[in-house]
Chains A and B, each alone.
Chain A
């Protein structure tokens, strides 16, 4: 790009080789500057997460940062050397070898410097069902905390049932809105769009009251229904978009062959929109897994706690000082989200509504 800019007209004969070399240098400098900016700008995010991770595997009562600093002391220079290799050497076999050597050195250093401090002691909440009592023994406050697996099970149940509801309901509605004309279709779609942009969080007081009146307060069902409903406008639009992209000829030919409308939907069209169903499913699952405000408001009993409430009360009530175990719980809670997001990013980015990703 800069090569073109540098080729501005000049009176004297131009030394093209020098111009090209200069613009190459300038371009490299710009790239380096941008990388530097991004690395520095991302440190406030990366370092705390790295801290959480290292403390979970190395801390002993208290937030030790020794392992974090050592890890950073190895990783940051490695990163700098790596970018120098990438930018400085031409791509090819020697570069690849240099990269591999760098990787080997980095890993060895990491292991040597942090290895002796690593242990799994902070993860004992996984196999000790009465971890809260064990920790509180000293302070002597009797407060029955559920096992982490109860909370894990609740979160899993909440997320997967809610996901199923969202998938089924929005697939049905998306198909109908995509294929059928009915009086009021345009206003239905318009209404959905307004609901999609409408902030449901403002309705938390009346939702709480409604749940109280119908007797669903303090049940997982209430949270499942609420979160599923709030996800719906978005999910329906995504599904409608996927159905719109399926050519109607395949349905047509199925029906000419004697299939009914519903058979054609089930056996012919549905397999075509699997990616869409997967995408909204993952999205709904993650939403349910992460939910905090609604579960905090609608669930009260400890037996109903989800992972978010469990982690919150654990660090608030029981072990404010055992940072190391809270870190391990944090890693335990955050890992499924991050893994699922990263593994399915491909599908998630396919969701668009009206040209605007939601």
Chain B
């Protein structure tokens, strides 16, 4: 007996959409719910729950003296990296490489993609060695060659190290998006500007930037979010130190949970990030071409 059209349609949906839905529910939806639930418990190192409490939130709002400093560090880190590298330098790289012949431009873009291509552990290792305070550190060798005294960036300017390390990776994202945006600007706009007597910088300011403002806001928003929640490279390079000098919020959450065993407090702190994440994700929505995405399928035969 063959199944009826309705049953077969259901079966199709289960077959095609089922696995994806299951995985997404298990690893996005369930964790969000678990996170909210855990935030109201007293789960500690033994992973046991003995009672419900709102103590975590009280501690977050009043009791945690470290928290304010951590938030300040996060703000400085995110704003500096975003402005200087993810948007600023990404834009400069895109403008310069598109002004050059295609092959050379592609070469330099590939160079800037190198940090993104390498596994984080290798990239962090390179930074650790470059800024190593010993005579072996690459930076100190170069300084010694120039007759300058050795420096210890990791202790004296840790914020600079993490901004540079993350910025070198972050610049490539903006670079890629801005490059394709600049390429898609109609050529005649540039010609018109030239005829009107505009120089190179005036063209960038009056033609290129207005044409890619959509991408500029997209990259700013998207990268602000990913800088806010990612702590991988900071963790690997400075481990949040010295003291708490480079402990950003996301790293603080992780350390509270997995190093101090305060899972419940970590979950409560993470809730803040989750909310910011959802809000930004909703905002980012507007940047996708929703109409093309939601157009009705052209074929429906069962």
**A175 to chain B: closest residue by CB:** B16
What's the Cα separation between A175 and B13 when bound, in Å? 11
Contact residues, A170-213 vs B (CB, 8 A): 170, 172-173, 175-182, 185-186, 188-190, 192-210, 212
**CB contact between A180 and one of B13, B180, B230 (< 8 Å): that residue:** B13
Among A69, A173, A205, max chain B CB count under 10 A is at A205
How many A residues have CB within 8 A of the partner chain?
Answer: 100
Q: Which of A170, A197, A251, A312 contacts B20 (CB 8 A)?
A: A170
Q: Is B118 an interface residue (CB 8 A)?
A: yes
A5 x B301 contact (CB < 8 A): no
> Is there a chain A Cβ closer than 8 Å to B17's Cβ?
yes
Select A65's contact among B15, B138, B194, B226, beta carbons within 8 Å. Answer: B138
Known contacts A199-B277, A251-B299; A225/B23 CB under 8 A: yes
Instruction: Enumerate chain B residues within 8 angstroms of A37, measured Cβ to Cβ.
Output: 96
Chain A residues with Cβ under 8 A from B228's Cβ?
199
Which residues in chain B, 243-302, are within 8 Å of chain A measured between CB atoms?
250, 253-254, 257-258, 263, 266-267, 270, 273-274, 277-278, 280-282, 284-285, 287-290, 292-294, 296-302
Per-residue interface assignment for chain A, residues 66 to 102, with 1 indicating a CB less than 8 Å from any chain B CB and 0 otherwise: 0001000000000000000000000000000000000
B204 at the interface (CB under 8 A from A): no
A residues less than 8 Å from B176 (CB atoms): 357
Segment from B51-59, B65-73, B123-131 that makes contact with A:
B123-131
In the complex, the answer to whether A354 meets B290 with C-beta atoms within 8 Å is yes
A139 contacts chain B at the CB level, 8 A cutoff: no
CB–CB A341/B31 < 8 A: no
B207 at the interface (CB under 8 A from A): no
The interface bits of chain A over 109-153 (1 if a CB of B lies within 8 angstroms of the residue's CB, else 0) are 000000000000000000000000000000000000000000000
Q: How distant is the Cα of A149 from the Cα of B227 in the complex, in angstroms?
A: 34
A268 interface residue (CB < 8 Å to B) = no
Q: Are B274 and A202 in contact (CB under 8 A)?
A: yes
Residues of A contacting B119 in the complex (Cβ-Cβ under 8 angstroms): 289-290, 292, 307-308, 333-334, 337
Is the beta-carbon distance between A65 and B122 smaller than 8 angstroms?
Answer: no
Q: Interface residue count for B (Cβ, 8 Å)?
A: 104
Q: A45-B168, A198-B28, A293-B232 are in contact. Are A212 and B47 (CB under 8 A)?
A: yes
A261 to B13, CA, bound (A): 12
- Residues in chain A near residue B21, CB distance under 8 A: 173
Of the stretches B76-84, B108-116, B147-155, the one at the interface is B108-116
Chain B min CB distance to A273 (Å): 14
Interface residue from A38, A177, A178, A255 paired with B97 (Cβ < 8 Å): A38
Neighbouring B residues of A48 by C-beta, 8 Å? 126-127, 129-130, 138
A354 touches B292 (CB 8 A): yes
Residues in chain A near residue B282, CB distance under 8 A: 194
| Chain B residues whose C-beta falls within 8 Å of the C-beta of A226 in the assembled complex | 27
Q: Which of A185, A192, A323, A355 has the most chain B CB atoms closer than 10 A to its own CB?
A: A355
Contact A236 B281 (CB under 8 A): no
Is the C-beta of B32 less than 8 angstroms from some C-beta in chain A?
A: yes
Give Cα A208 to B284, complex, Å.
28
Partner of A334, one of B122, B284, B292: B122
Query: Are A180 and B190 neighbours in the complex by a CB distance under 8 Å?
Result: no
B26-A206 in contact (CB<8A): no
Q: How far is the CA of A202 from the CA of B273 in the complex (A)?
A: 6
Q: Which residues from B are CB-within-8-Å of A65?
A: 138, 141
Residues of B contacting A: mostly: helix
B34 and A210 contacting across the interface, CB-CB below 8 Å? yes
Q: Which residues of A contact B113 (CB under 8 A)?
A: 341
CA distance A49 to B122 in the complex (A): 10
Is residue A63 contacting chain B, with contact meaning CB distance below 8 A? yes
User: Given the interface contacts A34-B100, A230-B27, A338-B114, does A308 sit within 8 Å of B120 by beta carbon?
Assistant: yes
Asked if B26 contacts A229 (CB within 8 A), the reply is yes
Judged by a CB distance under 8 angstroms, whether A280 is at the interface is: no
> Once the chains are docked, how many angstroms separate the CA of A355 from the CA of B288?
7
A311 vs B120: C-alpha distance in the bound complex, in angstroms?
11
Q: Are B197 and A5 in contact (CB under 8 A)?
A: yes
Query: Given the complex, which residues of A lie within 8 Å of B270, measured CB to CB?
Result: 202-203, 205
> Please, which residues of chain B bring their CB within 8 A of the CB of A325?
none
Tell whether, in the assembled complex, residue A30 and residue B200 are in contact, meaning their CB atoms are under 8 Å apart.
yes
C-beta contact mask, B1-34 vs A, less than 8 Å → 1, else 0? 0000000000011011101110110111011101
Is A1 an interface residue when CB atoms closer than 8 A count as contact?
yes
Give the chain B neighbours of A42 by CB distance below 8 A.
108, 111-112
Q: Which residues of A contact B114 (CB under 8 A)?
A: 45-46, 49, 338
Given the complex of chains A and B, what is the CA–CA distance between A185 and B296 in angstroms?
9
A311-B122 in contact (CB<8A) = yes
Taking CB atoms, residues of chain B closer than 8 Å to A103 are: none
Alpha-carbon separation in the docked complex, A342 to B20 (Å): 30
Least CB distance, A11 to chain B, in whole angstroms? 16
Q: Which parts of A284-302 form the interface with B (CB within 8 Å)?
A: 289-290, 292-293, 297
Instruction: Please name the 7 residue pairs, one residue from A and one from B, whose CB atoms are nearest each other, closest first.
Output: A229-B27, A176-B16, A173-B20, A197-B281, A206-B31, A206-B34, A354-B288
Q: List 16 A-B contacts (CB under 8 A).
A: A49-B126, A52-B122, A186-B294, A199-B226, A202-B273, A205-B35, A208-B257, A230-B27, A233-B24, A311-B122, A334-B119, A337-B117, A338-B118, A341-B117, A354-B288, A355-B289
In addition to A172-B16, A200-B28, A206-B38, 10 A-B residue pairs with Cβ atoms within 8 Å of each other are A5-B199, A8-B197, A35-B100, A170-B20, A189-B293, A190-B294, A197-B281, A308-B119, A311-B122, A311-B125
Q: Which residues of B contact A (CB under 8 A)?
A: 12-13, 15-17, 19-21, 23-24, 26-28, 30-32, 34-35, 38, 47, 93, 96-97, 99-100, 104, 108, 110-115, 117-122, 125-127, 129-130, 136, 138, 141, 145, 164, 168, 176-177, 180, 190-191, 194-195, 197-200, 218, 222, 225-226, 228-232, 235-236, 250, 253-254, 257-258, 263, 266-267, 270, 273-274, 277-278, 280-282, 284-285, 287-290, 292-294, 296-302
